[in-house]
């Protein structure tokens, strides 16, 4: 086991030097959330920074169960600003692709989020001045008004073809993180697949088997 968190689970990598990571990308299937008696939330994303620092540039999908119904949408965010919704449709099991990359010689970054199932692509060029020393592929219990939410009960889903600086990140078991809420493990990633660029994330404390590499 690598690390634990009250609001993140997935894989995170880091280096000591600034500007170690110029791009991060990956694919995932939008997980379906199950009904709950109370409001519960989940965010699936790729990003740069935020793992041990207070900066973060990220984009992903939201899967919540609020006021008796499931809610799905896409978004991007740069801390400390709130998320910005992307006004394109998202449904469970849609295949998503995200890439965040720095433009050479500038502090300009390109955010791309594509829904390969529905056929849309969002692009945004924006300034970002973070250290760019960590990269992540994460299932999160997002914060609302500064409070970490209860994680929605979601179906197991894969992250695949993860890349950092356009190369295979060669994920290691020590890069794994589980989410702990109310003293219990609520979200657990698998070990990396054989090619070390993909993994499953599952609700609960049981570790899923890794995906079979194609």
Q: Is residue 207 part of a domain?
A: no
pLDDT digits 0-9 by tens, 123-146: 999 999 999 999 999 999 999 988
pLDDT digits 0-9 by tens, 171-190: 999 999 999 999 999 999 99
pLDDT digits 0-9 by tens, 156-166: 999 999 999 99
Domain of 141, CATH number, reads 2.60.120.700
Question: Looking at per-residue confidence, does 44 or 105 come out higher?
Answer: 44
Q: Is residue 203 part of a domain?
A: no
Q: Is residue 193 part of a domain?
A: no
What is this structure's pTM?
A: 0.96
Q: Is residue 204 part of a domain?
A: no
Residue 213 confidence (pLDDT) above 80: no
pLDDT on residue 214? 60
Query: To 5 degrees, how large is the angle CA 209–CA 141–CA 98?
Result: 70
Residue 59 confidence (pLDDT) above 90: yes
Distance CA 210, CA 196 (A): 10
9-19 average pLDDT score: 94
Distance CA 120, CA 114 (A): 6
Q: Is residue 197 part of a domain?
A: no
Q: Is residue 166 part of a domain?
A: yes
Q: Is residue 184 part of a domain?
A: no
Total tally of structural domains belonging to the chain: 1
Q: Which residue segment(s) compose the domain that 95 sits in?
A: 11-170
Confidence of residue 56 (pLDDT cuts 50, 70, 90): very high
Q: Is residue 41 part of a domain?
A: yes
């Amino acid at each position: 086991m690598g690390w634990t968190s009250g609001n993140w689970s997935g894989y995170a990598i880091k280096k000591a030097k600034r500007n170690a990571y110029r791009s991060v990308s990956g694919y995932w299937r939008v997980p379906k959330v199950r009904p709950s008696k109370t409001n519960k939330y989940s965010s699936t994303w790729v990003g740069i920074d935020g793992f041990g620092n207070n900066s973060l540039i990220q984009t992903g999908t939201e899967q919540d169960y609020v006021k008796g119904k499931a809610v799905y949408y896409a978004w991007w965010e740069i801390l400390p600003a709130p998320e910005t919704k992307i006004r394109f449709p998202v449904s469970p099991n849609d295949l998503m692709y995200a890439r965040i990359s720095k433009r050479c010689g500038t502090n300009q970054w390109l955010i791309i989020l594509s829904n390969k199932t529905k056929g849309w692509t969002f692009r945004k060029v924006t300034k970002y001045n973070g250290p760019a020393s960590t990269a992540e592929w994460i299932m999160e219990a997002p914060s609302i008004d500064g409070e970490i939410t209860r994680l929605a009960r979601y179906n197991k889903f894969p992250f695949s073809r993860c890349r950092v600086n356009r190369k295979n990140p060669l994920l290691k078991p020590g890069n794994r993180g589980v989410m702990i809420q109310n003293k219990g493990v609520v979200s657990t990633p698998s070990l990396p697949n054989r090619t070390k660029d993909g993994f499953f994330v599952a609700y609960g404390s049981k570790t899923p088997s890794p995906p079979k590499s194609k």
